[in-house]
A and B are shown apart, each in its own frame.
Chain A
Amino acid sequence: MDADWAADLQAVALTLKLAGVVTLALLVLGTPLAWWLAHTRSRWKAPLSALVALPLVLPPTVLGFYLLMLMGPHGLVGQATQALGIGLLPFTFAGLVVASMLYSMPFVVQPIQTAFEAIGARPLEAAATLRAGPWERFVHVALPLARRGVLTAAVLGFAHTVGEFGVVLMIGGNIPGATRVISTQLYSHVEALEYPAAHRLAAMLLAFSFAVLLWVYRLRTRGSLLATGATTP
């Protein structure tokens, strides 16, 4: 096993760790947010939805650049993290987690929100007549009914974080074991004209992404079949 390959494996391990942490954190934060977005009539719904969706249209470098400024010693976030004794976030794994959460947010929030909206009011009203409180309705009725949306969200959030590049390039600093992920390692290989090493990583990433998407689409097809079956008496 050559040194290059060892460095690649380290990048793969770090990427999986990053994507795992980001996905879990986004499910915890994104599910209540999706619930709120699905049910609110607040005038903040549209601005907040737009904010969540921003990473879909912004170039990652824009997000990365603003994060570099914001999380730096002169930025608001940077001054807050320093005051809290956390230190500065750029060039750290924690910094990548925060940045990736912002970047992958729409991929997690939107499928869950759609799933909550698809449930409609009736099952929840029925549960309410059976004296289920708001929390019980959420946990025992809404979440099980929306589980496919949650699963899709988790898979897409994970996959999107694995494929992330621009933001990491802008705030990572390419530190082995801390911020050097698959995509930046791949980029370094390409830039240094190390094409065989680049191919190896690129093929892995391609196969992984295809497998994930295949799974998501299979899940959806099967899901819609089940749904049709459920409505037939």
Chain B
Amino acid sequence: MKFTLPRGLFALSLAALALSARADELQVAVAANFAPAAQKIAAQFERDTGHVVKVSVGATGKFYAQIEAGAPFDVLLAADQATPARLVGEGKAVPATLHTYAIGRLVLWSADPALVDARGEVLKSDKWKHLSVADAKLAPYGQAAKETLAALKLADAVQARVVTGENIAQALQFAQTGNAELAFVALGQVQPPDGAKVPGSMWLVPDNLYAPIRQDAVVIAASKSAKAATEFVDYLASDKARTVIKAYGYSW
């Protein structure tokens, strides 16, 4: 009789252990441009594995600072290669898990269906007042926008009309609310995943105008659910995940 309570507790804790081993909760930090695709992939991953995925969306640079400061993220889906590589170099991320999960495309987008032409000539016109971009110091798509403007020799001409969003999601927000007529954003942000036509108008910027935006994923070394986190990072290269990644206009 007197062993019942301890035994019961032991059985309970075993059950709890088994449960926690089966269903881990992952905190995944996702670069803003990939947020719509990541939500979809996370939902599929949850159905397939029983793990729970919590997605945090933000700027890659901010996530770097937070991970440095000990933020409890298990996985980082960055918008670049430099940030995950830097974390690996500092021993804060697991080298074996590092890989490119998506290669992004830059587009010039407008909410106005008639504004952007198929060759981006609109940039040279005065049919617009504001061009919104992400901060080139903080966001790879901002850097790509800067390189594109430089390659087109338009950087000086448009400089006074450029407004800067803290991340690529804010750059799109400025254009969606109509406050900026034009925006350099990621194709993945404006491409409806069902393959429907992109709303508004856009120019798919030729990829020789900017350095390729290779986006790397990595498992954070301090993760308490390293196994499930590695499963998630591997899952990004699965056929199921790649169907989603492709639907949002990324390659790999």
Contacts and interface: CB of A to CB of B under 8 A. Distances in A.
Interface of A: 68-69, 71-74, 88, 90-91, 169, 171, 173-175, 187-188, 190-193
Interface string B64-88: 1100000000000000000000000
A191 B179 contact: no
A90 B164 CA distance: 12
A142 B180 CA distance: 47
Closest 6 pairs between A and B when the two form their complex, measured CB to CB: A173-B163, A174-B164, A73-B178, A90-B179, A192-B137, A72-B177
Contacts of A173: 130, 132, 163-165, 174, 180
Contacts of B135: 174, 188, 191-192
A96 B214 CA distance: 37
Contact of A193 (B61, B129, B164, B166): B61
A171 B170 CA distance: 10
A173 B175 CA distance: 11
Nearest to A173: B163
Contacts of B162: 175
Nearest to A189: B137
Given A74-B177, A193-B64, A91 B163 contact: yes
A173 to B, nearest CB: 3
21 contacts: A68-B173, A72-B179, A73-B179, A74-B178, A88-B179, A90-B174, A91-B130, A91-B163, A171-B179, A173-B132, A173-B164, A173-B165, A174-B164, A174-B165, A174-B166, A175-B164, A188-B137, A191-B166, A192-B135, A192-B137, A193-B61
Interface of B: 59, 61-62, 64-65, 129-130, 132, 135, 137-138, 162-166, 173-174, 177-180
A187 B166 contact: yes
Contacts of A71: 179
A115 to B, nearest CB: 39
Nearest to A184: B166
Contact of B61 (A73, A169, A171, A192): A192
A191 B177 contact: no
Nearest to B86: A193
B161 to A, nearest CB: 9
Given A72-B177, A173-B174, A174-B135, A193 B163 contact: no
Contact of A69 (B61, B65, B138, B177): B177
A80 to B, nearest CB: 15
B142 to A, nearest CB: 11
Given A68-B179, A188-B137, 10 more contacts: A72-B177, A72-B179, A73-B178, A74-B177, A91-B130, A91-B163, A187-B166, A190-B65, A191-B61, A193-B65
A68 B177 contact: yes
Contacts of B174: 68, 90, 173
A175 to B, nearest CB: 6
B166 A192 contact: no
Contact of B178 (A72, A169, A187, A193): A72
